[in-house]
Amino acid sequence: MMRLAYLGIALLIGGAIIVAACSPLKTFDALVPKDSESGEVARNIPYAAGPRHMLDIYAPRGTRAGANLPVIVFIYGGSWASGTREGYGFAGRALAAAGFVVVVPDYRLVPEIYFPGFLQDCAAAVHWARGNAGRYGGDADRIVLVGHSAGAYNAAMLALDPQWLGKDRTAIKGMAGMAGPYDFLPFDGKITTRTFGQWPRPDETQPIHYADASAPPTLFLHGSEDDTVYPRNSVHLQKKLADAGAKSELKIYPGIGHVGIVTALARPFRERAPVLVDVIGFARKVTVR
């Protein structure tokens, strides 16, 4: 038996309690079984200068340069203030097992930087993927952005606001956001005030501000029991995109919370919600040749 105290701190595996004092998801990742059809093919690859500008790459077993598999850039969350790519091997392996080359970057965090520093970093990681994915079997012209929580915010901003990716935006074939904050004005909480409060034009920090018909196809996924980022964020952005004429889908999972939606990518928890099936199905659909 395996049980995760999602916000807390302990994993119960085979009756033994293991405390996850620093990074619960890093411990979770170390303990959950991984998809055998995929593997990590590169680690600690720099996409820019600095210790937070590194990425890992996952691919199906046996993938070679020239395979031209579609690429997923997976951006993790953590309130823009925590997180490490080392906690998301379970996600990279799960997505790669379905036939994708998966890039998982780190990015700088608050208080080292504030908005828009983390977007600049994530954009740099996508630019790197566009220029280098082919060396690992990826098709640099077919990229899907996938993110959770703050990472879903980052992915949405890259997909919707043309300033971040420039000409490389044409390679973004879709964006899938899990439990993302997209419409959260005014800044009335500690996290949002600290992260975005210094920006002089608050509307420019909101993904919903950029929702128009030029958006790539989007998929929004949210748990009905998410009391960290309320589902209305996904509901509002998906509706605005659909009303503008963009292709956009929304899936709400009953009984799923904020962390449960991303841990549902892992093998022991996939029966809780079809998050992996839905993300893979969307990514395949938007990258079909």
User: Does residue 106 surpass a pLDDT of 70?
Assistant: yes
Q: Which of 8-17, 30-39, 233-242, 271-280 has the lowest mean pLDDT?
A: 8-17
- Is the pLDDT at 110 greater than 80? The verdict is yes
24/241: higher pLDDT: 241
pLDDT above 50 (res 168): yes
Domain spans, the chain = 24-287
Please, which pLDDT band fits residue 23 given cuts at 50, 70 and 90?
Answer: low
**pLDDT, mean of residues 158-180:** 98
Q: Any idea which fold 24-287 has?
A: Rossmann fold (3.40.50)
Alpha carbon 266 to its chain centroid, in Å, reads: 14
Percent of the chain at pLDDT > 70 equals 92
pLDDT digits (tens, 9 = 90+) for 183-192: 999 999 999 9
Is the pLDDT reported for residue 52 higher than 50? yes
- φ and ψ at residue 273, rounded to 5 degrees: -165, 145
Q: Looking at residue 236, what is its pLDDT?
A: 98
- Please report the pLDDT score of residue 165 as a whole number: 98
Main-chain phi, psi angles of 104, to 5 degrees: -120, 105
The number of C-alpha atoms within 13 Å of 221 and in the hemisphere containing its C-beta is 30
**Cβ atoms of residues 266 and 94 within 8 Å:** yes
Give percent of the chain with pLDDT exceeding 90.
Answer: 91
Cβ neighbour number for residue 117 with a 10 Å cutoff:
16
Determine the pLDDT at residue 24: 76
Q: pLDDT: is 23 or 240 the higher one?
A: 240
Q: At a CB cut-off of 8 Å and minimum separation 6, what does 204 contact?
A: none
Contact 217, 244 (CB under 8 A): no
Supply the mean pLDDT for the chain. 93
Closest alpha carbon to 191 in 146, 153, 232: 153
